[in-house]
Amino acid sequence: MDIAATSIVMSQMNVMNQANISVMKMAMNTENQSAAQMTQMMGNFAVDPSLGSSLDVSA
């Protein structure tokens, strides 16, 4: 077994893992920002407090 080749392969795998983690963190940050924006957007809706408090029924 070539120790130098094994070391290079392990180093490359470490770099790939770190890159994958970085991409995952960026995706998670993007999703968190999207969720925060959606929550803020939902809070900006005007809600009529009397809406849905009565029901008109005729038979």
For the record, the structure tokens of 13 come out as 């795998």
pLDDT-derived band at 1, boundaries 50, 70, 90: low
Distance CA 20, CA 50 (A): 51
Q: Give residue-wise pLDDT tens across range 19-30.
A: 999 999 999 999
Cα–Cα separations (whole angstroms), residue 45 to 17, 39, 51, 52: 43, 11, 14, 16
Instruction: Specify the pTM.
Output: 0.60
What is the DSSP code string of 26-56?
HHHHHHHHHHHHHHHHHHTS---TTTTS---
- For residue 6, pLDDT over 90 is answered with yes
